[in-house]
Structure 1
Amino acid sequence: MDLLRFITCGSVDDGKSTLIGRLLYDSKSILADQLEAVERASKHKNDGEIDLALLTDGLRSEREQGITIDVAYRYFQTPARKFIIVDAPGHIQYTRNMVTGASNCQLAIVLVDARNGVVEQTRRHSLIASMLGIPHIVVAVNKMDLVDYSEDVFSNICIQYAELAKKLNAKQVTFIPMSALNGDNVVDPSQNMSWYEGPTLLNYLETVELDHDVNLTDARFPVQYVIRPQTPDLHDYRGYAGKITSGIFRKGDSVTVLPSGETSTVEAIEFFEEVKDEAFAPMSVILHLADDIDISRGNLIVKSDSQPVVSQNIEALLCWMDTKELKVGSKYTLQHGTFRSRCVVRDIAYQLNVNTYEETEGVESLKLNDIARVVLKTAQPISFDPYSRNRVNGGAILIDETSNVTVGALMLM
């Protein structure tokens, strides 16, 4: 059974938390004690309705204000698939929270209030989803009950978002009309929108094709740990432990170790004490090479006929996540997979307006939640793929050298 990790995003009060609550409630994925707790928290309501948003809005401040502040994660499964739900906040001041939550997602549900259509926060979250390379986008036109389940309203919103999607080069966009509050087209088909012939949200989540979302072309293996037992009976044992982030490795493959450029062949592949002829992403394995090469944590093993970029001069899209400003000339630690190197910010090529998609040049500093294209110089060469080609090997973070806090998310170009 495969796993789908998806994020819900969109404008404030579009009903993201209610949608997740409805999805869990109608699919019978709520434990009895959780349901009792939500019923107790909802008992102050005169109409006796259960506030489904309380299933995800767990912070006290979220419950008091009726908004989502931090990223919330929920797990559930159906007979068809396992799911991890990421509930992202809609407010602009929590852009960094959304980037963090969406970075590992395969699908984004962008909620649109049927009364308001496409608004600035819809554009901002759609841009971030596109930047992060999320291949599947579901536009959930919510609160259709407040517009009398009008087909014309739904069609107009589809036209608006389709124009937006052209600018973002979105790969796959699906539109679903729904009412999260009443459960229309969330788990069960709506009796109020007979004109809609597409899938319900849960049906789409269960059936969306994920096989092509994993890069199986470019074989990449960041070394996490070198296993070299100091016992007489295993004195010839040398293995390299890690997780295959993309591609396929087979016994006998010619491989290159980066950044040194040393070459060898795969002699054996261990997987849970079994010897395999091949392994693929995202398996965690131990590789054995035919030659004794100086390899340590942070090195990258790749197939020799499919090599990444190796450079000290890096261009990347950056989402700044710290209250302290980033300035040209600032120094940080760049972490890419298991590799770390000091780096300096050489230039800010432009700052991107996440609401209008305009590029502003001549910027000398970035503030919290700003997104920009930056130029970095690293102390040691790093081995990476463009983020648009290989998300796992094209992502990196910036770490403050004094506080050790993650201050930036990078999409390498």
Structure 2
Amino acid sequence: MSAATTYEASDLIAHDIGAYLDAHQHKTLLRFLTCGSVDDGKSTLIGRLLYDAKTIFEDQMAALEADSRRVGTQGGDIDFALLVDGLAAEREQGITIDVAYRFFSTDRRKFIVADTPGHEQYTRNMVTGASTADAAVILIDARRGILTQTRRHSYLVSLLGIRHVILAVNKMDLMGWSQDVFDEIVAEYTAFAAQIGIEQFHAVPLSALRGDNIMTSSEHSPWYTGPSLMTLLETLEVGDDLQADPFRLPVQWVNRPDLDFRGFAGQIASGVVRPGDPVRVLPSGKTSSVARIVTADGDLDLAVAGQSITLTLADEIDVSRGDVLVTADRPPEVADQFEATVVWMDDEALLPGRPYLMKIGARLLGATISEAKYKVDVNTLAQQPAKRLEQNEIGVCTLSLEGNVPFEPYGVNKDLGGFILIDRISNRTVGAGMLHFALRRSHNIHWQDLSVDRVARAGMKNQQGRVIWLTGLSGAGKSTIANLVEKRLHADGRHTYLLDGDNVRHGLNRDLGFTEEDRVENIRRVAEVSKLMLDAGLIVLVSFISPFRAERRMARDLIGAEDFVEVYVNTPLAVAEQRDVKGLYKKARAGELKNFTGIDSAYEPPEAAEITVDTLAMSAAEAAEAIVDWLRTSV
């Protein structure tokens, strides 16, 4: 096997390997990322760092030389980007798609570097790489200057609270090492950085391909008197300021190996902890004190931010995964409604009112964007009105959760202030965000307990409430079937109410149109009304197209799966259009109705409806009877 010659080939390796290993173990670690626009040279820079640091094995070097001749972009010369671009698609296109992490070290420091993609469509991967970084190296192609993606990545770096920023003006060799070009780029970036809150940064002219100003100062830029890129990376301060903050431990796992031990494991997000310290469990608010700090190497007398530990408590209190153990006398806030910045990453737009899952720390709970306040133009930083966020857009929104969470603003504590949003159906990560503050109504509005509850109201009616949700295309026969179902239930002495899509739009939802955002809000309001009627003990019939699975899932979750009965009125589009009782399909085909379901807006059929009625195989009366028969066995 080939041996690696490293940049840190100090005399210790040859004369005292033990001392060398001890010194290596105690080096500081810097996590940094490279970012910027596509083709600015991020992968080439990292490859060059690995090469010049002599951390490449001989067999890797041989493979690199062969790959450079076969798929390289440097005319047969070594293409350092191939050290990082490992996916076949990356090599074929000469771009970075996934986040590539590499480890290397020098005599002074250890490094983990994340090479993030420059293409706009892979902004989500850049956010992933930036989420754990201490520093950011923002590359700029000297030929092209500052581009939109440069500004977007810089704005994200500022939002994510990365403390150290290095502006690497690359490909200076292609600009004749012109100081004027370098100075113009730095001046333009300085003005932009001040607008987004980057108070200071280091600017370095370099050629990643040729190695100029990478490890040592280059003779090609005598006018540049600053440090090389590696010198900067080796000397950036990696502070332990989190240890001065109050103690916070998000619980990742309840450790219960046997009946005699119950501990709470996680990584300390901030502060320090000692046995005997009083702690509080959030969101419940229960208190206890630390009994032991347990690790694989034995108990500790002190643990600090960044350490992964297991705590045992002096009292038997309920602590679960997702709870947070905190300093008893300096707890964070607990709330369920927030203002937050959201970076939207999905092909499908963020729609206010649509339900998502939110993961904050180890806690997973339902979330809804109540309102998109505005989005940010990354070029001008102007705040633009927004009803939705499209892919890669950044906006400020209000966020409502289905339960309380302990939190701190992202600028104070990344672990308690950062979150991701997940699509409830596909489980895709669709967004990432940073909490700003709790909305005041989170603290002032409480659920009022009432003496007469739903069970009492339904009991007086001698029935069990249900929400019967009929969905299908326009013209499928939903309203006709729902009306027949209500007549039969009424004849049976049941207490009912029918909410029809058209009727509701005359009153409660008269202010809503037919955009995707308005349709989501339409269903949300109807679901809330249905829940209130269910609480009154009624059997509620809802006849709405409700074309999107996400909104029907929202209604099911809001009402409760045990009380929600989805009825799919299955009618092919051609048949529904042939009926066209209201003439809507004709108008939609003529372009007079926009966003009409089945024509220029999709209908997503239910995947597991409780009841499906096929209107080609049965009449409206037969369909109604089938629904009533199903209900008689359960209501």
Q: Identify the TM-score tier after normalising by the shorter chain.
A: over 0.9
Match of 2:516 in 1: none
Match of 2:54 among 18, 21, 28: 28
Maintained 8 Å contact 1:135/1:171: no
SS in 2 for 1:322: coil
Aligned counterparts of 2:359 and 2:153: Cα–Cα separation in 1: 25
**What is the CA-CA distance between 1:367 and the residue it aligns to?**
2.1
Worse-matched range after superposition: 401-410 or 200-209: 401-410
Q: Does 1:309 align with 2:337?
A: no
Q: Does 1:195 align with 2:219?
A: no
Match of 2:39 in 1: 13
**What is the CA-CA distance between 1:332 and the residue it aligns to?**
1.3
Match of 1:258 in 2: 282
Q: Does 1:295 align with 2:319?
A: yes
Match of 1:334 in 2: 358
Maintained 8 Å contact 2:114/2:129: yes
Q: Does 1:351 align with 2:379?
A: no
Aligned counterparts of 2:163 and 2:185: Cα–Cα separation in 1: 21
SS in 1 for 2:252: strand
Aligned counterparts of 1:161 and 1:212: Cα–Cα separation in 2: 29
Match of 1:408 in 2: 431
Maintained 8 Å contact 1:88/1:98: yes
Aligned counterparts of 1:301 and 1:21: Cα–Cα separation in 2: 42
Match of 1:124 in 2: 152
**Alignment deviations for residues 314-362 of structure 1 (CA, whole Å, 9 cap, x no partner):** 221111222222211111111111112112221111112223222112x
Aligned counterparts of 1:268 and 1:169: Cα–Cα separation in 2: 42
Alignment of 1:3-402 (within 5 A): 3-43=29-69, 48-212=76-240, 214=242, 216-231=244-259, 234=260, 237-361=261-385, 363-402=386-425
SS in 2 for 1:211: coil
- Runs of 4 or more off by more than 6 Å in structure 1? none
SS in 2 for 1:99: helix
SS in 2 for 1:98: helix
Query: What one-letter code is carried by the residue in structure 1 that aligns with 2:299?
Result: V
Higher Cα radius of gyration: 2
Maintained 8 Å contact 2:243/2:272: no
SS in 2 for 1:38: helix
**What is the CA-CA distance between 1:215 and the residue it aligns to?**
5.5
Maintained 8 Å contact 1:109/1:137: yes
Aligned counterparts of 1:69 and 1:228: Cα–Cα separation in 2: 41
Aligned counterparts of 2:199 and 2:243: Cα–Cα separation in 1: 15
In structure 2, the CA distance between the partners of 1:212 and 1:238, relative to structure 1 (3 Å rule), is closer
Aligned counterparts of 2:357 and 2:77: Cα–Cα separation in 1: 50
Q: CA RMSD in A?
A: 1.8
Aligned counterparts of 2:278 and 2:241: Cα–Cα separation in 1: 25
Query: What one-letter code is carried by the residue in structure 1 that aligns with 2:432?
Result: A
**What is the CA-CA distance between 1:212 and the residue it aligns to?**
4.5
Maintained 8 Å contact 1:222/1:243: yes
Aligned counterparts of 1:288 and 1:168: Cα–Cα separation in 2: 43
| TM-score w.r.t. length of structure 2 | 0.62
Query: What one-letter code is carried by the residue in structure 2 that aligns with 1:287?
Result: L
Worse-matched range after superposition: 83-92 or 144-153: 144-153
Worse-matched range after superposition: 391-400 or 269-278: 269-278
Structure 1 vs Structure 2: percent identity of aligned residues? 50
Query: What one-letter code is carried by the residue in structure 2 that aligns with 1:166?
Result: A
Structure with bigger strand share is: 1
Equivalent pairs counted in the alignment come to 408
SS in 2 for 1:375: strand
Worse-matched range after superposition: 148-157 or 132-141: 148-157
Maintained 8 Å contact 1:215/1:390: no
Query: What one-letter code is carried by the residue in structure 1 that aligns with 2:110?
Result: K
**What is the CA-CA distance between 1:408 and the residue it aligns to?**
1.3
Structure with bigger helix share is: 2
Worse-matched range after superposition: 61-70 or 105-114: 61-70
Maintained 8 Å contact 2:346/2:430: yes
Aligned counterparts of 1:213 and 1:203: Cα–Cα separation in 2: 23
Aligned counterparts of 1:282 and 1:378: Cα–Cα separation in 2: 28
**Alignment deviations for residues 173-220 of structure 1 (CA, whole Å, 9 cap, x no partner):** 111111111111111221112222221111111111001464641311
Query: What one-letter code is carried by the residue in structure 2 that aligns with 1:272?
Result: A
**What is the CA-CA distance between 1:171 and the residue it aligns to?**
4.2
SS in 2 for 1:260: coil
| TM-score w.r.t. length of structure 1 | 0.94
Q: Which has the higher contact order (CA 8 A, sep 6+)?
A: 1
**What is the CA-CA distance between 1:79 and the residue it aligns to?**
2.2
Query: What one-letter code is carried by the residue in structure 1 that aligns with 2:221?
Result: M
Aligned counterparts of 2:59 and 2:348: Cα–Cα separation in 1: 42
Unaligned runs of 5+ in 1: none
Aligned counterparts of 1:206 and 1:357: Cα–Cα separation in 2: 33
Maintained 8 Å contact 1:135/1:213: no
**Alignment deviations for residues 291-334 of structure 1 (CA, whole Å, 9 cap, x no partner):** 22111111100002322121010221111222222211111111
In structure 2, the CA distance between the partners of 1:391 and 1:72, relative to structure 1 (3 Å rule), is same
In structure 2, the CA distance between the partners of 1:199 and 1:408, relative to structure 1 (3 Å rule), is same
